[in-house]
Amino acid sequence: MGRVVELNHPLVAHHLATLRRKDTPPHVFRDAIQRLTLLLAYEATADLPVRPLAVETPLARAACNVVDGRIGLVPILRAGLGMCEAVQRLIPEAEVWHLGFYRDEDTLQPVEYYQKFSEHPPARAFVLDPMLATGGSACEGVELVKRWGVQTISMLCVIAAPEGVEKVRAGHPDVDIFACAIDDHLNEDAYIVPGLGDAGDRIFNTL
Protein backbone atom coordinates (compact mmCIF):
# COMPACT_ATOMS: atom_id res chain seq x y z
CA MET A 1 0.00 0.00 0.00
CA GLY A 2 1.31 3.43 -0.94
CA ARG A 3 1.94 6.01 1.71
CA VAL A 4 0.06 9.24 2.33
CA VAL A 5 2.56 11.76 3.71
CA GLU A 6 1.37 15.13 4.97
CA LEU A 7 4.34 17.37 5.74
CA ASN A 8 4.59 18.76 9.25
CA HIS A 9 7.22 21.49 9.36
CA PRO A 10 7.29 25.15 10.43
CA LEU A 11 8.51 26.29 7.00
CA VAL A 12 5.67 24.42 5.30
CA ALA A 13 3.16 26.14 7.57
CA HIS A 14 4.78 29.51 6.93
CA HIS A 15 4.69 29.27 3.12
CA LEU A 16 1.20 27.77 3.13
CA ALA A 17 -0.02 30.91 4.88
CA THR A 18 1.35 32.95 1.98
CA LEU A 19 -0.39 30.73 -0.57
CA ARG A 20 -3.75 30.77 1.15
CA ARG A 21 -3.89 34.54 1.56
CA LYS A 22 -6.23 35.85 -1.15
CA ASP A 23 -4.29 39.09 -1.70
CA THR A 24 -0.90 37.42 -2.26
CA PRO A 25 0.38 38.74 -5.63
CA PRO A 26 1.13 36.21 -8.40
CA HIS A 27 4.93 36.50 -8.27
CA VAL A 28 4.94 35.86 -4.51
CA PHE A 29 2.47 33.01 -4.97
CA ARG A 30 4.76 31.39 -7.57
CA ASP A 31 7.76 31.70 -5.26
CA ALA A 32 5.84 30.07 -2.41
CA ILE A 33 4.74 27.20 -4.67
CA GLN A 34 8.37 26.54 -5.58
CA ARG A 35 9.60 26.67 -1.99
CA LEU A 36 6.91 24.21 -0.91
CA THR A 37 7.71 21.98 -3.87
CA LEU A 38 11.36 21.86 -2.78
CA LEU A 39 10.25 20.64 0.65
CA LEU A 40 7.91 18.07 -0.92
CA ALA A 41 10.60 16.82 -3.28
CA TYR A 42 13.13 16.50 -0.46
CA GLU A 43 10.72 14.20 1.39
CA ALA A 44 9.55 12.27 -1.68
CA THR A 45 13.07 11.49 -2.92
CA ALA A 46 14.40 10.07 0.34
CA ASP A 47 14.31 6.52 -1.02
CA LEU A 48 15.88 7.12 -4.44
CA PRO A 49 18.32 4.37 -5.40
CA VAL A 50 22.00 5.33 -5.41
CA ARG A 51 25.22 3.86 -6.73
CA PRO A 52 28.75 4.33 -5.39
CA LEU A 53 31.12 6.75 -7.07
CA ALA A 54 34.69 7.57 -6.08
CA VAL A 55 35.71 11.21 -6.61
CA GLU A 56 38.91 13.15 -6.10
CA THR A 57 38.67 16.02 -3.63
CA PRO A 58 41.44 18.65 -3.38
CA LEU A 59 42.93 16.50 -0.60
CA ALA A 60 42.10 12.83 -1.19
CA ARG A 61 39.91 10.26 -2.85
CA ALA A 62 36.37 10.11 -1.39
CA ALA A 63 33.77 7.37 -1.56
CA CYS A 64 30.44 8.97 -2.56
CA ASN A 65 26.97 8.00 -3.73
CA VAL A 66 25.02 9.41 -6.67
CA VAL A 67 21.41 8.92 -7.74
CA ASP A 68 21.05 5.86 -9.95
CA GLY A 69 18.56 5.52 -12.80
CA ARG A 70 16.38 7.78 -14.90
CA ILE A 71 13.79 9.96 -13.18
CA GLY A 72 10.80 11.50 -14.92
CA LEU A 73 8.78 14.52 -13.85
CA VAL A 74 5.22 14.62 -15.14
CA PRO A 75 3.58 18.00 -14.45
CA ILE A 76 -0.15 17.99 -15.11
CA LEU A 77 -0.84 21.06 -17.22
CA ARG A 78 -1.10 23.75 -16.58
CA ALA A 79 -0.70 24.25 -12.84
CA GLY A 80 1.86 21.46 -12.47
CA LEU A 81 4.33 23.57 -14.46
CA GLY A 82 4.59 25.83 -11.41
CA MET A 83 6.18 22.95 -9.47
CA CYS A 84 8.52 21.61 -12.11
CA GLU A 85 11.44 24.01 -11.89
CA ALA A 86 11.82 23.46 -8.14
CA VAL A 87 12.24 19.70 -8.55
CA GLN A 88 14.67 20.27 -11.41
CA ARG A 89 16.85 22.31 -9.07
CA LEU A 90 17.25 19.20 -6.91
CA ILE A 91 17.45 16.73 -9.80
CA PRO A 92 18.92 18.60 -12.80
CA GLU A 93 19.15 15.38 -14.82
CA ALA A 94 15.42 14.62 -14.46
CA GLU A 95 13.41 14.28 -17.65
CA VAL A 96 10.25 16.38 -17.98
CA TRP A 97 7.18 14.92 -19.70
CA HIS A 98 3.74 16.51 -19.88
CA LEU A 99 0.09 15.62 -19.47
CA GLY A 100 -2.72 18.10 -20.09
CA PHE A 101 -6.22 17.89 -18.62
CA TYR A 102 -9.04 20.36 -18.23
CA ARG A 103 -12.11 19.91 -16.08
CA ASP A 104 -15.50 19.66 -17.76
CA GLU A 105 -17.49 22.16 -15.72
CA ASP A 106 -20.74 20.26 -16.24
CA THR A 107 -19.55 16.77 -15.28
CA LEU A 108 -16.50 17.83 -13.23
CA GLN A 109 -14.62 15.03 -15.01
CA PRO A 110 -11.09 15.44 -16.44
CA VAL A 111 -10.68 15.66 -20.20
CA GLU A 112 -7.25 14.89 -21.64
CA TYR A 113 -6.01 17.32 -24.29
CA TYR A 114 -2.23 16.75 -24.38
CA GLN A 115 0.27 13.95 -23.81
CA LYS A 116 4.03 13.96 -24.45
CA PHE A 117 5.88 10.76 -23.53
CA SER A 118 8.97 9.11 -24.99
CA GLU A 119 9.30 5.63 -26.42
CA HIS A 120 11.38 4.54 -23.41
CA PRO A 121 9.88 5.30 -19.97
CA PRO A 122 12.03 6.09 -16.93
CA ALA A 123 12.06 3.70 -13.99
CA ARG A 124 10.49 6.26 -11.67
CA ALA A 125 8.19 9.24 -12.11
CA PHE A 126 6.84 12.03 -9.96
CA VAL A 127 3.43 13.36 -11.01
CA LEU A 128 3.16 17.06 -10.13
CA ASP A 129 -0.07 18.97 -9.52
CA PRO A 130 -0.50 21.68 -6.84
CA MET A 131 -4.12 20.68 -6.13
CA LEU A 132 -5.46 17.18 -5.50
CA ALA A 133 -9.20 17.96 -5.41
CA THR A 134 -11.61 15.35 -6.77
CA GLY A 135 -8.70 13.13 -7.76
CA GLY A 136 -10.00 12.71 -11.30
CA SER A 137 -7.03 14.23 -13.13
CA ALA A 138 -4.59 12.59 -10.73
CA CYS A 139 -6.04 9.12 -11.29
CA GLU A 140 -6.14 9.58 -15.05
CA GLY A 141 -2.60 10.94 -15.04
CA VAL A 142 -1.24 8.09 -12.94
CA GLU A 143 -3.04 5.56 -15.15
CA LEU A 144 -1.42 7.01 -18.28
CA VAL A 145 2.02 7.00 -16.64
CA LYS A 146 1.52 3.35 -15.69
CA ARG A 147 0.49 2.46 -19.23
CA TRP A 148 3.64 4.21 -20.40
CA GLY A 149 5.56 1.58 -18.42
CA VAL A 150 6.81 3.44 -15.33
CA GLN A 151 7.12 1.05 -12.39
CA THR A 152 7.35 3.44 -9.43
CA ILE A 153 5.13 6.53 -9.25
CA SER A 154 4.66 9.20 -6.60
CA MET A 155 2.14 12.06 -6.55
CA LEU A 156 3.30 15.46 -5.28
CA CYS A 157 0.68 18.10 -4.45
CA VAL A 158 0.66 21.21 -2.31
CA ILE A 159 -2.97 21.02 -1.12
CA ALA A 160 -5.15 17.92 -1.10
CA ALA A 161 -8.77 17.19 -0.28
CA PRO A 162 -9.63 13.98 1.60
CA GLU A 163 -11.91 12.99 -1.27
CA GLY A 164 -9.06 13.22 -3.77
CA VAL A 165 -6.67 11.30 -1.55
CA GLU A 166 -9.18 8.48 -1.14
CA LYS A 167 -9.89 8.33 -4.87
CA VAL A 168 -6.22 7.97 -5.72
CA ARG A 169 -5.71 5.38 -2.99
CA ALA A 170 -8.70 3.39 -4.23
CA GLY A 171 -7.64 3.48 -7.87
CA HIS A 172 -3.88 3.29 -7.39
CA PRO A 173 -3.07 1.83 -3.96
CA ASP A 174 0.61 1.42 -4.90
CA VAL A 175 1.19 5.17 -5.42
CA ASP A 176 2.68 7.36 -2.68
CA ILE A 177 0.98 10.73 -2.13
CA PHE A 178 2.96 13.63 -0.68
CA ALA A 179 1.07 16.78 0.33
CA CYS A 180 1.92 19.92 2.24
CA ALA A 181 -1.60 19.93 3.69
CA ILE A 182 -4.73 17.79 3.54
CA ASP A 183 -7.63 20.20 3.88
CA ASP A 184 -11.16 19.74 5.20
CA HIS A 185 -13.41 18.98 2.22
CA LEU A 186 -14.58 19.83 -1.29
CA ASN A 187 -17.42 22.30 -1.75
CA GLU A 188 -20.33 21.86 -4.17
CA ASP A 189 -18.18 23.23 -7.01
CA ALA A 190 -15.39 20.72 -6.27
CA TYR A 191 -13.02 23.35 -4.87
CA ILE A 192 -10.85 22.50 -1.88
CA VAL A 193 -11.90 24.21 1.39
CA PRO A 194 -10.25 26.21 2.87
CA GLY A 195 -7.80 25.72 0.01
CA LEU A 196 -6.22 28.59 -1.88
CA GLY A 197 -8.49 29.15 -4.86
CA ASP A 198 -7.45 28.10 -8.37
CA ALA A 199 -3.71 27.38 -8.32
CA GLY A 200 -3.31 27.64 -12.10
CA ASP A 201 -4.99 31.03 -12.29
CA ARG A 202 -2.95 32.34 -9.39
CA ILE A 203 0.36 31.00 -10.73
CA PHE A 204 -0.19 32.40 -14.23
CA ASN A 205 -2.09 35.56 -13.20
CA THR A 206 -5.19 34.72 -15.22
CA LEU A 207 -7.82 35.47 -12.59
Mind telling me the catalytic residues? Answer: 103, 107, 198, 201
In angstroms, the first-to-last Cα distance of the chain is 38
**Could you write out the DSSP letters of every residue in 97-148?**
-EEEEEE-TTT--EEEEEEE--SS--SEEEEE-SEESSSHHHHHHHHHHHHH
Q: Which residues are bridge partners to 192 per DSSP?
A: 186
Please tell me what DSSP assigns to residue 149. T
Q: Return the axis-axis angle of helices 26-44 and 81-90, rounded to nearest 10°.
A: 50
Dihedral sign for Cα 197, 99, 167, 91, please. Answer: negative
CB atoms within 10 A of CB 51: 10
